[in-house]
């Protein structure tokens, strides 16, 4: 008897799936040629790549539900995708998965200034949410540096933060409700246009769940009245540790700036070259922004400069104009791109208690010497969310492996001092195998059970977040690029 050809079976299975998807979506919304699916083979963590089986671009919740129903019936994994800017490989496909992109879901559905919310489809970019309300004096607070490109969908999945989250909180603090489609194609509403909802806090579970529980298609977001004014001050120091100690003292004093950002010399120089921000010559720079009326700003800045003065700053320079403030932020927001122009780097994302900043910065310097790779630092210092950038040479054999080992040690250090493995970029594929450092088996088991409830077949965004040894037996281990 002739054995069936496995390749022919895969091709036939794919053709069958594509034909079914084309019955519920326009033809150009189903991408399946080998060349075209390559556009979806990775996200911003480009070290990992794997072309998906196909990619679909539905335009509304009903189409998303139809796609999920088909994939569920066919037992095909689905990887939800916003704009593909994840730095942890969250939107990385598996070879047998369909990428479900929400880019076409970009409408504003409702704006309510009396109750201070906006309802949007989740493919809308972060910055364009503020764009929809700023003419009326409002803004959406979470501001990832990728805000020009990243979608609200990805922000919710990763519980994204940004420079201004010290005062206003991260995505979870600004999310009121979602419409979500389950893997079975059921549409559920969670939360609403109000502060709290009856029953379990499922919104808290969904926000930060990394596309593992359902596909979020609509979101109700809190919007905030723009402050009367805002002004940054730059505080320059001759060492990272002293700048870290200054941050810790500002927070301890109970002053609440809207942002405290930290950059070390390599980042300052790269950003200055890239954005001509006017940064001073120094080893470490803090950008501290306060907001309110002129009198409130003056009062807060005088407290901050008094604290900074006790750390012998090299320079303290207040922004004197709107243009200067814009330049200061343009430099900081371009930091990742600016560093990428001069070096390959791996961007880490760990959180630590602010009081541990000086210790962690010192330990990282020691590890840098030990591993023989430089580290550049740019991060949201006010809430202890660190983004060490480990510099390496992608063309040098072995450098990536050393870089990954070094990165793992830094994240373990974050956990050791009382912080956690991820502040805002998520676990994805990048930190999946480090989850044991943070959680014991029982902790992990409870999280796995939540996944079991929402997606018993483990078809949504497989091979992410949980170490493979704890998911064994719960799902079919699928081929991944990792």
Instruction: Write out the DSSP string of 348-395.
Output: --EE--GGGHHHHHHHHHHHHHHHT--EEEEEEGGGTEE-EEEEE-TT
91 within 8 A of 68, measured Cβ to Cβ: no
Binders in 397-436 for ligand FAD, by CB under 6 A: 424-425
Separation of alpha carbons 199 and 191, rounded Å: 10
Site string for ligand FAD, 235-274 (x = CB under 6 A): ----------------------------------------
> Which of these ranges, 13-21, 209-217, 290-298, 448-456, lies near ligand FAD under the rule CB under 6 A?
209-217
> Which of these ranges, 159-167, 254-262, 412-420, 435-443, lies near ligand FAD under the rule CB under 6 A?
159-167
Candidate residues 25, 70, 153, 203; the one interacting with ligand FAD per rule CB under 6 A: 153
Tell how far CA 415 is from the center of its chain: 19
Residue 475: CB minimum distance to ligand FAD, A: 16
Q: Is 144 in the site for ligand FAD (CB under 6 A)?
A: yes
Nearer to ligand FAD, 85 or 182 (CB): 85
Separation of alpha carbons 471 and 448, rounded Å: 8
Nearby residues of 241 by Cβ (< 8 Å), 6 or more positions away: 358, 361, 362
Separation of alpha carbons 111 and 377, rounded Å: 38
What does DSSP assign to residue 49? Answer: -
Nearer to ligand FAD, 169 or 337 (CB): 337
**C-alpha distances in angstroms, 447 versus 28, 183, 465?**
38, 18, 10
> Which of these ranges, 86-94, 256-264, 351-359, 440-448, lies near ligand FAD under the rule CB under 6 A?
86-94
Nearer to ligand FAD, 206 or 373 (CB): 206
Q: Is 216 in the site for ligand FAD (CB under 6 A)?
A: yes
Nearest to 65 by CA among 221, 220, 218: 218
Q: Is 85 in the site for ligand FAD (CB under 6 A)?
A: yes
Nearest to 226 by CA among 327, 139, 121: 139
| Total interface residues for ligand FAD by CB under 6 A | 37
- DSSP E strands in 226-349: the ranges are 229-237, 259-264, 284-292, 315-318, 344-347
Residue 100: CB minimum distance to ligand FAD, A: 7
Nearer to ligand FAD, 242 or 414 (CB): 414
Q: Is 17 in the site for ligand FAD (CB under 6 A)?
A: no
Candidate residues 77, 93, 161, 177; the one interacting with ligand FAD per rule CB under 6 A: 161
Name the phi and psi angles at 205, rounded to 5. Answer: -75, -40
Q: Is 336 in the site for ligand FAD (CB under 6 A)?
A: yes
Nearby residues of 446 by Cβ (< 8 Å), 6 or more positions away: none
Nearer to ligand FAD, 301 or 460 (CB): 460
**C-alpha distances in angstroms, 371 versus 117, 344, 364, 377?**
48, 16, 10, 17
Q: Is 86 in the site for ligand FAD (CB under 6 A)?
A: yes
Q: Is 80 in the site for ligand FAD (CB under 6 A)?
A: yes
Question: Can you name the residues that pair with 288 across neighbouring β-strands?
Answer: 233, 260
Binders in 178-197 for ligand FAD, by CB under 6 A: none
Instruction: Find tokens 């942890």 and name the residue.
Output: 88
> Which of these ranges, 129-137, 149-157, 275-283, 357-365, lies near ligand FAD under the rule CB under 6 A?
149-157
Nearer to ligand FAD, 242 or 391 (CB): 391
Q: Is 377 in the site for ligand FAD (CB under 6 A)?
A: no
Candidate residues 129, 150, 267, 364; the one interacting with ligand FAD per rule CB under 6 A: 150
382, exposed or middle or buried, with CB in 10 Å at 0-12, 13-18, 19+? buried
Instruction: Write out the DSSP string of 288-302.
Output: EEEEESHHHHHHHHH
Candidate residues 41, 43, 63, 264; the one interacting with ligand FAD per rule CB under 6 A: 43
Nearer to ligand FAD, 44 or 403 (CB): 44
Q: Is 158 in the site for ligand FAD (CB under 6 A)?
A: yes
Contact set with ligand FAD (CB under 6 A)? 43-44, 79-87, 90-91, 102, 122, 144-146, 150-151, 153-155, 157-158, 160-162, 210-211, 215-216, 336-337, 424-425, 461
């Amino acid at each position: 008897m002739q054995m069936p050809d496995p390749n022919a079976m895969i091709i036939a299975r794919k053709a069958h799936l594509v034909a079914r998807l084309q019955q519920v979506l326009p033809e150009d919304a189903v991408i399946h040629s080998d060349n075209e699916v390559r556009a979806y083979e990775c996200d911003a963590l480009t070290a990992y790549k794997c072309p998906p089986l196909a990619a679909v671009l539905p335009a509304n919740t009903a189409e998303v539900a139809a796609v999920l129903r088909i994939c569920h019936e066919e037992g095909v994994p689905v990887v939800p995708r916003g704009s593909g800017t994840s730095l942890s490989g969250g939107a990385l496909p598996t070879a047998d998965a369909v990428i479900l992109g929400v880019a076409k879901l970009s409408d504003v559905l409702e704006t309510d200034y009396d109750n201070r919310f906006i309802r949007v489809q989740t493919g809308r970019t972060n910055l364009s949410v503020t764009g929809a309300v700023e003419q009326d004096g409002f803004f959406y607070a979470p501001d990832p540096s990728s805000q020009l490109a990243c979608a609200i969908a990805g922000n919710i999945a990763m519980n994204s933060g940004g420079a201004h989250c010290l005062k206003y909180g991260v995505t979870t603090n600004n999310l009121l409700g979602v419409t979500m489609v389950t893997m079975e194609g059921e549409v559920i509403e969670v939360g609403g246009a109000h502060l709290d909802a009856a029953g379990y806090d499922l919104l808290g579970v969904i926000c930060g769940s990394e596309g593992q529980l359902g596909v979020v298609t609509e979101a109700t977001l809190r919007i905030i009245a723009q402050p009367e004014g805002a002004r940054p001050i730059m505080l320059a120091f001759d060492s990272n540790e002293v700048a870290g100690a200054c941050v810790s003292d500002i927070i301890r004093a109970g002053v609440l700036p809207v942002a405290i950002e930290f950059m070390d010399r390599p980042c300052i120089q790269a950003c200055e070259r890239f954005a001509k921000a006017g940064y001073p010559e120094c080893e470490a720079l803090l950008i501290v922004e306060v907001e309110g009326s002129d009198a409130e700003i003056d009062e807060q800045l005088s407290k901050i400069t008094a604290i900074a003065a006790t750390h012998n700053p090299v320079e303290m320079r207040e922004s004197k104009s709107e243009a200067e403030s814009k330049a200061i932020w343009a430099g900081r927001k371009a930091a990742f791109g600016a560093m990428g122009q001069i070096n390959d780097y791996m961007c880490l994302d760990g959180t630590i208690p602010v009081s541990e900043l000086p210790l962690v910065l010192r330990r990282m310097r020691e590890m840098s010497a030990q591993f023989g790779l430089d580290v550049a630092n740019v991060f949201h210092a006010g809430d202890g969310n660190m983004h060490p950038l480990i510099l390496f040479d992608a063309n040098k054999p072995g450098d990536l492996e050393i870089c990954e080992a070094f990165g793992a040690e830094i994240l373990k250090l974050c956990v050791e001092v009382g912080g956690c493995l991820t502040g805002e970029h998520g676990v994805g594929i990048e930190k999946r195998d480090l989850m044991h450092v943070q959680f014991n088996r029982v902790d992990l088991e409870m999280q796995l059970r939540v996944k079991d409830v929402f997606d018993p077949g483990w078809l949504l965004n497989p091979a992410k977040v949980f170490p493979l040894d704890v998911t064994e037996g719960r799902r079919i281990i699928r081929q991944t690029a990792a």
